[in-house]
């Protein structure tokens, strides 16, 4: 398994990995559930995919992938802010068949190393209360909890 910079032609693969892996942990999907199937004219898959596409457009250099046997099996997107020097691990996902093999941790280490090289002095990440893996994983890397947020929505 190698970790490397993503290639532009892999954008759709990263979007597909996101939709496959975020099913149980996506706020966008919880919103669709609350609204009885889908929210507005789009589905959670459309919106989640767009979020990751935005990361790729905003900072393609900060998108790293894990490749095994020629296949992309995981990714991480890192955003930088040269003014504040606060970086952000914005999305990451590992193919279900490969979860629990240490790939996420290696992607995280590579992402943090990238952010350090870019001069970031602090790194942010967010997870949800129902994401048991994130809540275990991120503190074990060194992240400290700073706040909890509540998301509301209502039908119009
Ligand atoms: C989060 C994710 C990227 C982690 O990738 P992974 O390759 O499975 O993670 P690793 O095997 O490297 O494990 C990293 C750490 O996560 C935690 N972890 C992994 N599997 C876990 C499980 N089933 N239950 C609780 N914690 C778990 C552990 O702290 C683990 O470290 P350790 O093995 O040293 O104890 C992956 O689970 C995923 O794609 N999840 C769905 C999408 C998602 O939640 N993305 C992040 C949104 S905030």
Locate tokens 């954008």: which residue? Answer: 11
Ligand 1 pocket: which of 90, 100, 102, 109 to mutate (most atoms <8 Å of CB)?
100
Structural domain spans, the chain = 2-141
Nearest to 95 by CA among 3, 1, 20: 20
Q: What is the DSSP string of the chain?
A: -EEEE--GGGHHHHHHHHHHHSTTT-HHHHHHHHTTS-BTTB-HHHHHHHHHHHHHHH-GGGEEEEEETTEEEEEEEEE--TTTTEEEEEEEEE-GGGTTSSHHHHHHHHHHHHHHHTT-SEEE----TT-HHHHHHHHHHT--------------
Confidence of residue 82 (pLDDT cuts 50, 70, 90): very high
pLDDT of residue 74: 98
Give the mean model confidence (pLDDT) for residues 15-28: 95
**pLDDT digits 0-9 by tens, 93-151:** 999 999 999 999 999 999 999 999 999 999 999 999 999 999 999 999 999 999 999 99
pLDDT of residue 39: 84
Nearest CA to ligand 1 atom 40: 93
pLDDT of residue 107: 98
| Domain spanning 2-141: CATH superfamily | Gcn5-related N-acetyltransferase (GNAT) (3.40.630.30)
Nearest CA to ligand 1 atom 41: 21
Nearest to 131 by CA among 104, 98, 103, 111: 104
CB of residue 66 inside a 6 A radius of ligand 1: no
Nearest to 75 by CA among 25, 110, 113: 110
CB of residue 104 inside a 6 A radius of ligand 1: yes
**pLDDT digits 0-9 by tens, 34-69:** 988 888 899 999 999 999 999 999 999 999 999 999
Q: Cα-Cα-Cα-Cα dihedral of 32, 38, 39, 44, to 10°?
A: 60
Decide if pLDDT at 6 tops 90.
Answer: yes
Tokens of 152: 């509301």
Distance from the alpha carbon of residue 104 to the mean position of ligand 1, in angstroms: 6
Decide if pLDDT at 90 tops 90.
Answer: yes
């Amino acid at each position: 398994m190698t970790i490397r910079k993503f290639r532009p032609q892999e954008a759709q693969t990263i979007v597909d990995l996101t939709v496959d892996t975020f099913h149980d942990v996506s706020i966008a999907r919880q919103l669709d559930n609350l609204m009885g199937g889908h929210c507005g004219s789009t589905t959670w898959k459309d919106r989640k995919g767009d979020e990751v596409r935005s990361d790729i457009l905003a900072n393609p250099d900060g998108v790293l992938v894990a490749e095994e046997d020629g296949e992309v099996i995981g990714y991480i997107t890192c955003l930088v802010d040269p003014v504040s020097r606060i970086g952000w691990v914005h999305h990451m996902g590992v193919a279900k068949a490969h979860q629990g093999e240490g790939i996420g941790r290696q992607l995280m280490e590579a992402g943090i190393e990238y952010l350090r090289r870019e001069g970031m002095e602090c790194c942010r990440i967010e997870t949800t209360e129902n994401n048991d893996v994130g809540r275990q994983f991120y503190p074990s890397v060194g992240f400290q909890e700073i706040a909890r947020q509540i998301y509301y929505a209502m039908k119009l």
